[in-house]
Amino acid sequence: MSSSILNTIFGKRRHVITDFLSKWATKKLRRNKSAIGHNDHLKRPLHFHKCLADRRHSGVLSLDNPHPIFLTEADLAPADVLFCPNDEADLIRAAISYGSAGDYVHTAIYIGKGYAIEAAKGGVVKVKLDDIIKRYPYVAVARCFGAKPEGVPELGKKVVDFCLLHAQAKTPYNVKGALMAPLLELQELELQNRAKRWSVPNHRSSPIESLFCSQLAVEAFINGGYIPEGTVNSASYSPTKLAEDRMFGLIGYFGDQALRNHIRDNDYFLTGGIPRACPV
């Protein structure tokens, strides 16, 4: 048997094995999304402390929009934040969702004219809005409360300029930071829950050498003047934590309207973080 035939056979087997292991791992990484129960401080520590700190609860979070509102590009404004959920089929997204104890696995910032800025594997880049929407089951869009007319002056412009600056500089992706963010968040929550109050941390600013997706968003709103510098650690922000911090109000969704019920019953902005089907 020729070497080319052998390589083809072993190549196919390797692909089958890799595909099987990927699907098996993805299934194992599906999160238990129910409210906290016995021993969850050991089994699901980040989820446990989120619930304890009232960052996550069972019930409608957005009383103004109890049902999903679907958007068009015309509804967006520069500096709107895009929250992209796990689709439970991709291994990397499943790992992010599991590790951060949340459904959102990516964020991007809309900059206008059909484009957004994101920090992804290739670094900080400018991408088409449609390309982001196509990657995920749906996309939740939220707007900073400081973007209102009576809010922070020129907030949207400052946020967009910050993002464009890093896209032009091709700031590298912060892989280590993305992996460490859930651990930093857990440390903050444990401290908060022990003290029974939120003490403002004193974080000194340092030069930005790399960024992951939600870290980019936090740094952009620090630069815009909405988040006071030194009050938060952007490195502790996973996409889900960014949504839970309630700096942003839900505008609506992009995606297939056939997912309307799924979004209503599962999306953080409409459920408070505990899906409607889960026992409480």
Beta-bridge partners for 253: 70, 140
Residue 203 included in any domain: yes
The answer to whether the CB of 212 falls within 8 A of the CB of 177 is yes
* pLDDT level of residue 186 (50, 70, 90 thresholds): confident
Residue 26 included in any domain: no
In the chain, the percentage of residues whose pLDDT exceeds 90 is 49
Q: What does the alpha-carbon distance between residue 276 and residue 230 come to, in Å, rounded to a whole number?
A: 37
Residue 38 pLDDT greater than 70, yes or no: no
Q: pLDDT tens, 69-93?
A: 999 999 999 999 999 998 766 666 7
Residue 3 included in any domain: no
Rounded to 5 degrees, what are φ and ψ at 153? -60, 130
Report which of residues 164 and 55 the model is more confident about. 164
* pLDDT level of residue 19 (50, 70, 90 thresholds): very low
Reported pTM: 0.82
Residue 280 included in any domain: no
* pLDDT level of residue 37 (50, 70, 90 thresholds): low
Residue 234: the pLDDT is 94
Q: What does the alpha-carbon distance between residue 7 and residue 71 come to, in Å, rounded to a whole number?
A: 49
User: Average pLDDT for residues 103-121, to the nearest whole number?
Assistant: 96
Closest CA relative to residue 35, chosen from 53, 55, 58, 54: 58
Any idea what DSSP says for residue 146? G
Residue 13 included in any domain: no
Residue 5 included in any domain: no
Domain count, the chain: 1
- The enclosing domain of 96 has a CATH number of 3.90.1720.10
Q: Which domain holds residue 80?
A: 31-271
Residue 54 included in any domain: yes
Residue 276 included in any domain: no
Q: What does the alpha-carbon distance between residue 192 and residue 177 come to, in Å, rounded to a whole number?
A: 22
Residue 23 pLDDT greater than 70, yes or no: no
Over the chain, what is the mean pLDDT?
A: 81
Closest CA relative to residue 157, chosen from 250, 73, 74, 77: 77
